[in-house]
Amino acid sequence: MLRITVWNENLHEKESPEVAALHPNGLHETVAAALRTEEDFVVRTATLDQPECGLSEEVLAETDVLFWWGHMGHDRVPDEVVDRVQDHVLRGMGLVVLHSGHFSKIFRRLCGTPCSLGWHDDARERVFTVNPAHPIAQGIPAHFEIPNEECYCEPFAIPEPDELVFLAWFSTGEVFRAGCCFHRGYGRIFYFQPGHETAQSFGVPAVQQIYRNAARWAAPVKQVPEIDCPWIAPLEQG
Amino acid sequence: MLRITVWNENLHEKESPEVAALHPNGLHETVAAALRTEEDFVVRTATLDQPECGLSEEVLAETDVLFWWGHMGHDRVPDEVVDRVQDHVLRGMGLVVLHSGHFSKIFRRLCGTPCSLGWHDDARERVFTVNPAHPIAQGIPAHFEIPNEECYCEPFAIPEPDELVFLAWFSTGEVFRAGCCFHRGYGRIFYFQPGHETAQSFGVPAVQQIYRNAARWAAPVKQVPEIDCPWIAPLEQG
Amino acid sequence: MLRITVWNENLHEKESPEVAALHPNGLHETVAAALRTEEDFVVRTATLDQPECGLSEEVLAETDVLFWWGHMGHDRVPDEVVDRVQDHVLRGMGLVVLHSGHFSKIFRRLCGTPCSLGWHDDARERVFTVNPAHPIAQGIPAHFEIPNEECYCEPFAIPEPDELVFLAWFSTGEVFRAGCCFHRGYGRIFYFQPGHETAQSFGVPAVQQIYRNAARWAAPVKQVPEIDCPWIAPLEQG
Amino acid sequence: MLRITVWNENLHEKESPEVAALHPNGLHETVAAALRTEEDFVVRTATLDQPECGLSEEVLAETDVLFWWGHMGHDRVPDEVVDRVQDHVLRGMGLVVLHSGHFSKIFRRLCGTPCSLGWHDDARERVFTVNPAHPIAQGIPAHFEIPNEECYCEPFAIPEPDELVFLAWFSTGEVFRAGCCFHRGYGRIFYFQPGHETAQSFGVPAVQQIYRNAARWAAPVKQVPEIDCPWIAPLEQG
């Protein structure tokens, strides 16, 4: 059983009739639906307007992998919530950051960099699998298309990814490292570029499969060990 | 010309007669002296008790590479100073973090991890060069000894280094990734484990050479480009 | 079900009464026995003196993970057998290279480097887990000891590992990157340093657990895709 | 002074009037001309039809960085020449592999992988700098265009590059890791995708600057140390 929490700021949905129409139950439910096809996934959602942003210690303690979607409300996430999420990632909770989450406090903190990028709207996207043997690429074709996405563009101000899985091509003339893996403490982090609130990515089968693959890949590999600064007894000379 | 600033909290020197005797002008001056042998290095120092910790915008703007030594005073460095240093690193300033600086706010922030480790006192250390072709290893033998150092021990809670240059062996039975390179934004970061306030590292020629090599390696490679989040004009279809 | 083949040159066993006494059925059977504790592992062995070194196309086609132990007979493995093994690794077969296998034709070919190292006999070894979240480290303590092993020493002339999992400390004053992961094509490769023919590693529970973990980690992640140089049809402009 | 040898199979030039017209002195001289703008570069050329392919022990001993262009004649390079070049790379000679050199014996051998890729002709290319702080990217804009190049396409069957510097976008709908760094032994290797024999890359100023930057980056960092397998004297217990 894999316990997943999908977090969404849930702001565009309230302000934009277009977004509300595309995601009638919120973008978090759109993502959650793509995950709920797996029998062994137990998926819940959490949003910015809930107490503690829906990310209390209790919720995080019961979360194996956290999905994160945010954009206009990054600054509304209190630092103590970010502290708590970071602590859980370092202790083993997986984190899957979608699209504009590149600028979230939690992703920037785990990267240590600005995570800035170039962008503009309205492009056709083609996603290429550059690491076909990676667990997140299982069942994904060599390349697939998204009819309409927001264009993101290099340079992407991240640390060199520990594993690069996908690259994006945009019809308007840009490339982007669209699927990047990072390891921080005992936690695994996957950044995935598709997912603009008005884009057609969410219904693309390969995108949905990547969500599911990423959840499995990011799952904690063992019970949480201590991360602290222990005093080590010197080796006994024998 | 390479402009170097050596920062030191300068606290042990005031509290411990032993440390004061070993570093009569402060540990920062000990490190600075090893750098001043190079004709093209211009070396200044800065300490915690100065206004803005000695790291004003003006000082950082004139610094190519910043050395960092801290231990008991990590929490006394205000967050706004850490913000400023991080900003300069991301824009290209090199950062060389020595020994107990592993727990400094700035190093932890750039890593995104706890940077914890195991430790105890009083070991003989042997440093091995695992990447002899690396610029920081130039002129350094395959291995060299430090008669007495504080033992640091794995696991060291850092991201996988972009380049691993040195490993440490300790007579008491431990190993440690003693020389690690990271890239963050336009800046280069080198962590180097030797350098306990009462240890004999500072006088070891290979240690001093590594300081100098690290300064050259960490120097900015070009004039500072913008790191921001630009809107990119779509490619003109031609 | 995971299909494992343990390959051994099986030469020391015939020449040295000491080795024969330690490995009465050959070192390959010693390693295989540690793998056969897993119900879902199907383990066979192969040796140098068999036709095609026991590594025919048929055997490799039925092998998910190949373990490799060799030392004095590296040159007796024909190039066409090495070609065949490399081809299978690139198509997804896992490869676990033990100890003196660092100098095997197959490991050197997959690395592209000499894979040389320093060495001498008779040391106490302590293995440290530097990447405790790695699948190969699951259930392995922060460090464990091997009472007697052959000492291997840096610099180890390999490419920078894609993942560094274990470091070795030796009582005689050396360190070594003892557990290293590499990715080549669709295949995963793990090099593990313990395993001298007269050493006590084979009976150490943590060593045996690492064999089992490595087998699971190196298993192919999916059915074998083509690795070739296709002509790609240009994107239809839509 | 940096001693550069530009190697070219020089076959298309003899068979194709179009190629001969574009590279009247051979493609090697086209590349060499872009390097000869640097006062401290001493540039010579070598071709397949010379004795020992123009790559005798004497020539390689006097070469700091070797450029490599080949395509239809990969198999005509004798294995002993490949052995010799590999040996020099491992001892510190830089290697810059251009375009269809991805399939050369020497590059495949240093990678340990097939180095296959997808391809077709006739695309507009846009090169993006993903690592703007890298020495090879100095002076290169965030992106630049090549009016006409042969399209190369992912997946590119190489090991994960130690540093990824450039990505390519093609107007026909493909992406490619166009500038990749690898370290093997003491040698530095840079693969750069532009450079089809009939393409317009050779006259693009950014391409020429990348040649020059790559030569400087790949230069040996120190006098050649031994790469062998030494017996290490155990540490004296003191």
Which is more confident, A144 or D235? A144
Percent of chain D residues topping a pLDDT of 90: 87
The pLDDT of residue A223 is 58
Query: Which positions ≥6 away from A69 have C-beta within 8 Å?
Result: A6, A7, A8, A9, A27, A28, A31, A98, A99, A100, A101, A195
For testing the chain B interface, which of C131, C140, C169 should be mutated: the one with the most B CBs within 10 Å? C169
CB contact under 8 A, C159 and D182: yes
The pLDDT of residue D18 is 96
Query: What sign does the CA torsion over C24, C25, C26, C28 have?
Result: negative
The pLDDT of residue C238 is 41
Read off the pLDDT of residues B179-205 as tens digits, 9 standing for 90 and up: 999 999 999 999 999 999 999 899 999
The pLDDT of residue B237 is 46
Averaged pLDDT of chain C = 93
Coil, helix or strand at residue C201: helix
Give contacts of D 154-213 with A, CB under 8 A: 154-156, 160, 163-164, 167-171, 173-175, 177
CB contact under 8 A, D169 and A169: yes
Neighbours of D75 (CB within 10 A): 10
For testing the chain C interface, which of B154, B164, B182 should be mutated: the one with the most C CBs within 10 Å? B154
Please report the ipTM that was assigned to this predicted complex: 0.93
CB contact under 8 A, D118 and C185: no
CA D16 to chain centroid: 23
The pLDDT of residue D231 is 60
Question: What is the radius of gyration, based on Cα positions, of chain C?
Answer: 18
Alpha carbon distance D127, A150 (integer Å):
20
Determine the average pLDDT of the residues in B45-64. 98
Determine the average pLDDT of the residues in B66-85. 97
Determine the average pLDDT of the residues in B36-51. 98
Q: How confident is the model at residue A235 (pLDDT cuts 50, 70, 90)?
A: low
DSSP-derived letter for residue A111 is H
The answer to whether residue C226 scores a pLDDT higher than 60 is no
**Residue environment code for A74-100, b if the CB has 16+ CB neighbours within 10 A, otherwise e:** beebeeebbebbbbbbbbbbbbbbbbb
CB contact under 8 A, D133 and B238: no
The pLDDT of residue C221 is 82
Neighbours of D48 (CB within 10 A): 18
Query: Which positions ≥6 away from C200 have C-beta within 8 Å?
Result: C146, C147, C148, C149
The pLDDT of residue A213 is 97
Q: How confident is the model at residue B122 (pLDDT cuts 50, 70, 90)?
A: confident
CB contact under 8 A, A185 and B113: yes
The answer to whether residue C216 scores a pLDDT higher than 80 is yes
Tokens of D108: 């495949």
Read off the pLDDT of residues A90-141 as tens digits, 9 standing for 90 and up: 989 999 999 999 999 999 999 999 999 988 888 999 999 999 999 999 999 9
Determine the average pLDDT of the residues in B33-49. 98
The pLDDT of residue B167 is 98
Å between C107 CA and nearest CA of chain D? 9
The pLDDT of residue B121 is 81
For testing the chain C interface, which of D97, D175, D184 should be mutated: the one with the most C CBs within 10 Å? D184
Read off the pLDDT of residues C135-190 as tens digits, 9 standing for 90 and up: 999 999 989 999 999 999 999 999 999 999 999 999 999 999 999 999 999 999 99
Query: What sign does the CA torsion over C178, C189, C80, D82 have?
Result: negative
Determine the average pLDDT of the residues in C61-82. 97
Percent of chain A residues topping a pLDDT of 70: 93
Read off the pLDDT of residues D74-104 as tens digits, 9 standing for 90 and up: 999 999 999 999 999 998 999 999 999 999 9
Alpha carbon distance C60, C69 (integer Å):
16
The pLDDT of residue A230 is 60
Give the chain C residue whose CA is nearest to the CA of B134. C160
The pLDDT of residue A138 is 92
Q: How confident is the model at residue A224 (pLDDT cuts 50, 70, 90)?
A: low
Which is more confident, B225 or A21? A21
